[in-house]
């Protein structure tokens, strides 16, 4: 596993669900030099600073849209975890340029600042919504992925870029689980979009381990995908609110029936490597021999074998979900 001792790590969007959990775990597991929290919300930073009360934390107010501020904050940074993004699907459809400015232009700014400052590794936090996107949010995250992968052509032998892509996070702020619990508390009625809808599920501990795995193995240009389980939304509701009245409302605009983590196109250059899927870049403009470890020790997927939530060979049970959420 990667050694982060005495490293300086910066997390964009560091006050979010992933960022806060990641920072807490890093402080517990490693003797880092310092961790920089880069985000826009001063109130969240204030609360996080008070809660963690650690002298190794630095809090930078700033927006990824501001390249000058990014360049300043990246000074002396070894690793950047880029988690900042706008992600509420309906809001982004109504405010499309805001999504573009943060998720796309903001990512390009992170790339420029990282190369200019000689950051060693940059890891983008992405989503299953980026695979065959059906809404603007997914489209902007797909573009962010492409930007990070291609950035390896410009980073030389100093700065390397990679991506982690995963599904719904159990317990994250604004997740479907949180929304369901709120609806149950407010009205007692649960809305179901479609009884057969499925989603991928991962918990915060698993996202942390995935990021460490990617930082340890990345050579630049990979998309790291965890082999996580699926669950039907109706089973999710059975686990959280088995007694509540249900109302089927139909699939919402921009939603998919099932999510995708690896497309058929990507499957042709993907390897099953040490319990993870690793998608190699389709256009490797830099040294392709760097990926030999994946080809030599990894297992090829069948041609056009996409990784779709409905076709998954791993499923999370109601009992397992209840245990994760502390409902048992």
Hey, which residues are catalytic here? 129
Residues 314 and 228 sit within 8 Å (Cβ to Cβ): yes
Longest alpha-carbon distance in the chain = 58
Q: Which helix (H) or strand (E) holds 234?
A: helix 233-240
In Å, what is the CA distance from 192 to each residue of 14, 245, 268, 319? 32, 10, 35, 20
Give one word for 209, left, alpha or beta, with left for phi > 0 and alpha for psi -120 to 50. alpha
Tokens encoding 180: 């369901």
Give one word for 323, left, alpha or beta, with left for phi > 0 and alpha for psi -120 to 50. alpha
Q: Say which DSSP state 170 is in.
A: E
Helices (H) and strands (E) in the chain, counts: 13, 17
Of the candidates 159, 164, 132, 169, the one whose C-alpha atom is nearest the C-alpha of residue 145 is: 164
Of the candidates 186, 174, 205, the one whose C-alpha atom is nearest the C-alpha of residue 91 is: 174
């Amino acid at each position: 596993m990667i050694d982060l001792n005495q490293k300086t790590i910066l997390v964009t969007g560091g006050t979010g669900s992933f960022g806060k959990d990641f920072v807490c775990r890093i402080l517990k597991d490693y003797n880092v030099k310092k961790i920089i929290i880069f985000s826009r919300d001063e109130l969240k930073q204030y609360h996080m600073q008070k809660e963690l009360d650690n002298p190794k934390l630095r809090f930078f107010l700033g927006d990824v849209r501001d390249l000058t501020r990014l360049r300043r904050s990246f000074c002396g940074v070894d690793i950047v975890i880029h988690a900042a993004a706008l992600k509420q699907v309906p809001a982004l459809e109504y405010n499309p340029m805001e999504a573009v400015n943060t998720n796309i232009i903001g990512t390009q700014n992170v790339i420029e600042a990282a190369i200019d400052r000689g950051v060693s590794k940059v890891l983008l936090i992405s989503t299953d919504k980026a695979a065959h996107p059906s809404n603007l949010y997914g489209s902007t995250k797909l573009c962010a992925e492409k930007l990070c992968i291609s950035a390896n052509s410009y980073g030389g032998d100093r700065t390397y870029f990679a991506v982690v892509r995963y599904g719904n996070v159990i317990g994250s702020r604004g997740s479907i689980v949180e929304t369901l619990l709120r609806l149950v508390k407010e009205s007692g009625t649960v809305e179901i979009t479609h009884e057969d809808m499925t989603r991928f599920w991962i918990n915060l501990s698993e996202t942390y381990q995935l990021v460490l795995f990617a930082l340890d193995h990345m050579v630049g240009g990979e998309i790291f995908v965890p082999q996580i389980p699926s669950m039907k939304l109706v089973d999710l509701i059975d686990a959280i609110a088995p007694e509540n009245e249900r109302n089927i409302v139909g699939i919402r605009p921009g939603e998919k029936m099932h999510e995708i983590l690896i497309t058929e196109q990507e499957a042709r250059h993907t390897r099953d490597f040490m319990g993870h899927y690793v998608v190699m870049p389709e256009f490797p403009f830099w040294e392709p021999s760097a990926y030999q470890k994946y080809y030599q020790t990894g297992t090829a997927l069948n041609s056009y074998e996409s990784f779709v939530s409905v076709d998954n060979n791993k499923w999370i049970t109601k009992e397992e979900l209840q245990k994760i959420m502390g409902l048992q």
